[in-house]
Amino acid sequence: MQKKPTYEELEKRVKELEKERVERKGTEEALRDTNELLEKIFSTTHLLIAYMDTDFNFIRVNHAYAATDGHEPEFFVGKNHFDLYPHEGNESIFGSVVEKGEPYTAYAKPFEYTEHPKRGVTYWDWTLHPVKKASGKVEGLVLTLVNVTERIKTEEALRESQKRYKELWDGAPIAYHTLDTRGIITHVNQTETNMLGYTRDEMVGKPIFEFILPEQRKEAEERFRLKLAGEHIPRHDNRIYVKKNGSKINVSIDDVLERDSNGKVIGVRTTMLDATEQKQAEEALKESEGRLRFLSSQLLTAQENERKRIAQELHDSIGQSLTAIKFGLENSLDQRAGCTAKARVESLEAVIPLVQQAIEEVRRIHTDLRPSMLDDLGILATINWFCREFQMIYSDVRIEKQVDVQEDEVPEPLKMVIFRVFQEAMNNIAKHSDADLVRLCFKKTDATIGLTIEDNGRGFDLQGALSLNSSERGFGITSMKERTELAGGAFAIESTPGAGTVVRASWPYNNTKSIP
């Protein structure tokens, strides 16, 4: 027979039951609070949430999920997911989650609204979680989705922007590079690598100073250091860089400091322009200015020498002839009282040769200054006359002529230029060459009118003669070159000691009508 519990035991049992009731009530309240919280989160979150059974029928969806298609949550209950959103690939994934009991996550998956084509394609991050019983069997699926369309569009825009930036960076006509605070190249564009002949990998990570002419590296490093230190250094500078093939290139650089958001200097950004042509143009300009100064001084000297020569000739020849004529006339006048008419006539006749001689001297001087034959008969007759006169004086020099141009094919403004170049070249041969043969070629092609004077004389050191610092440089070469080029032509001279000299001058035939 079972023993009845004592009063104390009953009282203890009652207390235990009351405690269990209180604990159960607290648990129920906590569970209710938790359910309310979960319901609030489920209903108000922007995260799309759907709960479905293992056959993919919707059991419940939240407002965010339903609103995506413009429906209320009740619309989805009982409907199959893949009847609404057919997709063989996703159906296979859903089946695998049910079978394996393992969650699946997909990132940035595109989805096109077939019922709302104007909405276009959207992109989603989504996760499928299995809901399991205590036994481990899957009894449902929770699908969560996040709309990442804006993020994808932003990323695509960023990629497109980076692509355009790279195209602009590499396709720019100006070379760019960036340096860190040690002078190490961090970025370099394709224009600069092409300019120097290196690949990007051969430049990035190297100090920029390695590519500068060794003699300029120390100065460049000091400039870089002072710029980083905040010293006032001009942005623009010129440097000589050494290409991969060893050749040198003049570069004009413009560098500015790069700073972070706090204003701290983090490097230097540099643009580079190939200034080789500019440098060559500057040097050519300096050379041209030097030649112009030299020519101007020589012109003044030549002008004074010409004045001196003309004055001397007037004094020595014309002056003497006029003096003799004066004495002859005075003598005739003094003798007229005691002389017969015949004697006076004979006295005056003796003066006539003196007058004729003076006339010849005037003609000679006039011809030297500007041969009237050039205006009256043309360049071909003048060249022939000059060659005859030349051989009368220098009888041991033979002249071979090849003339293949018509008088009317040579523009009037060019005739004096050609004659002066020819005259100067012949005078140089007479003075300096010791030649016994001169070949003259004066011809016209479809494109040019050309003049070539070649001798078999002793030649000369052309390099020294053309040097502005050469004390032996004469006015003749400069005069011929300047005359030719001022008339729009090209001038060249070739000479080797012991092998004679060749002077070439040519003018574009199509442009000669406009020669000043």
Give residue-wise pLDDT tens across range 330-371.
Answer: 666 666 555 666 665 666 666 667 677 767 666 666 666 667
What does the alpha-carbon distance between residue 170 and residue 174 come to, in Å, rounded to a whole number? 9
Q: Which residues of the chain have pLDDT under 50?
A: 468-472, 511-516
Strands 265-274 and 248-259 turn out to be antiparallel
Beta bridge pairs of residue 256 = 269
pLDDT at 110: 79
Burial 133-155 (b: 16+ CB within 10 A, else e): eeeeebebbbbbbebbbeebeee
pLDDT at 514: 44
Residue given tokens 């001798």 in the structure block: 455
How far is residue 141 from each of residues 261, 277, 283, measured CA to CA in Å? 48, 74, 82
Distance of alpha carbon 242 from alpha carbon 168, whole angstroms: 25
Q: How many CB atoms neighbour CB 188 within 10 A?
A: 26
Q: Which of 254, 259, 249 is nearest to 270 (CA)?
A: 254
Whole-angstrom distance, CA of residue 390 vs CA of residue 191? 61
Of the candidates 145, 187, 196, the one whose C-alpha atom is nearest the C-alpha of residue 169 is 187
pLDDT of residue 471: 41
CA atoms within 13 Å, Cβ hemisphere of 392:
6
What pLDDT score does 308 carry? 67
CB hemisphere CA count around 328 (13 angstroms): 18
Annotate 185-239 with DSSP letters as a single string.
EEEE-HHHHHHHT--HHHHTTSBGGGGB-HHHHHHHHHHHHHHHTT----SEEEE
pLDDT tens for 30-87 read 667 666 666 676 777 788 999 999 999 999 999 888 888 888 989 999 999 999 888 8
